[in-house]
Amino acid sequence: MNQEMKIPQHIAIIMDGNGRWAKQRGKDRSEGHFAGMMALRATVKAAAEIGVKYLTVYAFSTENWGRPQAELDALMELVCTGVEMNTPELCQEGVRVEIIGDRSRFSQKVNDALDRITGKTAQGERMTLALALNYSSRSEITHAMQQLAQKVANGELQPQDIDEQAISQSLYTASMPDPDLIIRTSGECRLSNFMMWQASYSEFYFTDVLWPDFGAEALEEAIKAYNERDRRYGLVK
C-alpha cells in the first residue's frame, strides 16, 4: 500500500452476502458462513498489517435470531470453531478481541468460547478486533439509557449531566473511537441496525463483493476510496 495513504483508525464492517455466495455455488448457507469466517481471518490479518487500530465486524444481529434453527445452530457452532481455529494466530498477531452486544442469550458453550478468545488475546496491542454478536444499535442505545436512568435514580448523576460523552461512554463501544469508515459488502446499502450513534460522521463504502470473497485486496480498495473523501464535519474549508 502507498506510503502516503491515510489509514482509518477504526474500520467497521457489515459482513454480508454469505448466503448468496453459497447459493451461487449450490452449497448450504452454513458453508457460506464458514467461508465468511475464513474471509474474516484474512481481513483481520490485512487490517493489522496495514496499521488499522480498531476493526469492528457485525457478525450476528439481534434480528438474525429469526433465521431457521438449522442455520442458527450452524452459526453458533461456527463461533466455537472460529475461536479454536483463530485464537493462536490472533495472539501471535497482537490482536485483542472484544465482544460487543448482549451475550446473555448465548449458550454456556458459546460464552465459554468467547471468554477463551477474549482472555487469551487480552494482551494484544497491535489492533483491537470487536466482534458484534447479538448486537443491534437500538438495543445498545436502550441498554445505555437504562444504565443512565439507573444512575439518576441512585442520585449518582444529574439529568443535565447526560451529555453526548455520557451516552458514548454507556455504549458497548465506550473504549473505542467512532468508526472512520463503514464498509458493507454484497451490494446492500443499509445499516441494518448497526452503530447508528457511532456512525454520525463515518464515511460509508458499499461494494458488490460478497463477504466470503473479501480480503486484503478488497480492503485496500476500500481504503483507497476513503482517501478520496473530504471529511468536512459540517465546516467550510
Would you call 134 a catalytic residue per the annotation? no
Cα gap 57→125, rounded to integer Å: 18
Which residue's beta carbon is nearest to the bound ligand IPE? 19
Select the span of 8-16, 96-104, 150-158, 207-215 touching Mg ion (CB under 5 A): 8-16
Rounded Cα distance, 58 and 123, in Å: 23
Q: How far apart are CA 173 and CA 168, in angstroms?
A: 8
61 binds, among Mg ion, ligand IPE, none (CB under 5 to 8 A by kind): ligand IPE
Q: For residues 214 and 44, give the distance between their C-alpha atoms in angstroms, rounded to a whole number.
A: 11
Residue for grid cell 475464513: 38
Structural Rg of the chain based on CA atoms: 18
Task: Yes or no: say if 112 and 82 are a contact pair by the CB < 8 Å rule.
Answer: no
| Site mask for ligand IPE (CB under 6 A), range 45-84, x = bound | -------------xxxx--x----------x---------
| Per-residue binder mask for ligand IPE (CB under 6 A), 190-209, x = binder | x-x-----------------
Binding footprint of Mg ion on the chain (CB under 5 A): 16
Q: Which residues are catalytic?
A: 16, 64
Question: Which positions lie near ligand IPE, rule CB under 6 A?
Answer: 14-20, 58-61, 64, 75, 186, 188, 190, 192
